[in-house]
Amino acid sequence: MRRAHIAVLAGSVVATVAMVATSAQATEQQRDDAVTVAFAKTTRSAAWQQVQKIPLRFPTYHPQGFALVGDKIFMSTVEIIERPVPYPQPVDGYDRTPGRGVGHVLVLDRQGNLLKDVQLGQGTVYHPGGIDFDGESVWVPVAEYRPNSRAIVYRLDPQTYQVTEAFRVADHIGGVVRDRVSGEVHGVSWGSRTEYSWTANGHQLSKQANPDHLVDYQDCDYSGWRKQICSGITALPRSDGGSYELGGLALLDLRDNQILHEIPFPKFSTAGHVATRNPVALEVAGDKLRLFAAPDDGEEVAGTELLVYEAPIG
């Protein structure tokens, strides 16, 4: 009888723990925003339709990241003056020269008009990456244009356009997102192969290998309750010797970098690039999930175009 009683108690404890976990998960899902809920329902068979193609009629260079702030679109981009050149042999741990350039954050309205050009960077640190808006500031990483290098993470006031250095990192940081609950800043390295987290003033909290090998993340945005949605690209070889750009998006848990949902994105630009090649941002418009993208560089066939796609939710 005593063993049976213990077994019953143990079973009750397990059931209670399971109920608590399920309840916590349900509460967290209730906290998720509309974009996260909509994206989690979106599959590879979603019927994405291009609803707008807006030419950006000003210098756009090589776009990198988007952040939606009200009616404004913040777009980071790198103006390359002198491209890095590979070294025959590594020099001081680097595989190429630093090159020269200028980092920009271009502020646009929804009609594609340029409102402001904010320059960021310092010396050989001139390559902005994926950016994020935390409700107060736009967070912008600017790095050397080579792996295993260094970066400066900035905060940009979206009202005054004042730029403040937040911290520095001894690695190339290609994108950042700020957790609006913990205040931590999360980032990815060159090719997003390493994932980092820091305090808001740059104290490193974690560093781990990226478990996702499908695409390299190019731009990420905070989404839902302690989550982020990342977009990216992988270049795959074709049988004819050319290459194919595979694009995709992933929803990740910021607490452990677990991939919660992932889909490919099958749309391409005027220049033939997959839409998720660089800047991407998502929002919900009625019963549609809307995706903004700017995959083409300023010097390509039609210049940079702001592409807008929509897909039915669920």
Q: How many CA atoms lie within 13 A of 221 on its CB side?
A: 27
Residue 6 confidence (pLDDT): 47
pLDDT in tens, the chain (314 residues): 555 554 444 455 444 434 434 455 556 567 899 999 999 999 999 999 999 999 999 999 999 999 999 999 999 999 999 999 999 999 999 999 999 999 999 999 999 999 999 999 999 999 999 999 999 999 999 999 999 999 999 999 999 999 999 999 999 999 999 999 999 999 999 999 999 999 999 999 999 999 999 999 999 999 999 999 999 999 999 999 999 999 999 999 999 999 999 999 999 999 999 999 999 999 999 999 999 999 999 999 999 999 999 999 98
Which two structure tokens, joined as six digits, stand for 235?
Answer: 């270049």
Neighbour-count burial for 206-230, b at 16+ CB within 10 Å, e otherwise: eeeebebeebbbbbbbbbbbbbbbb
In DSSP notation, 195-249 reads EEEE-TT--EEEEEE-S--S-EEEEEEEETTTEEEEEEEEEEE-TTS-EEEEEEE
Q: Which CATH class is domain 35-312?
A: mainly beta
* Burial (Cβ within 10 Å: 0-12, 13-18, ≥19) of residue 76: buried
Please provide the distance, in angstroms rounded to a whole number, between the alpha carbons at the two ends of the chain: 52
307 vs 238: CA distance, rounded Å: 26
Domain borders along the chain are 35-312
Q: Cβ contacts of residue 92 below 8 Å, gap of 6+?
A: none
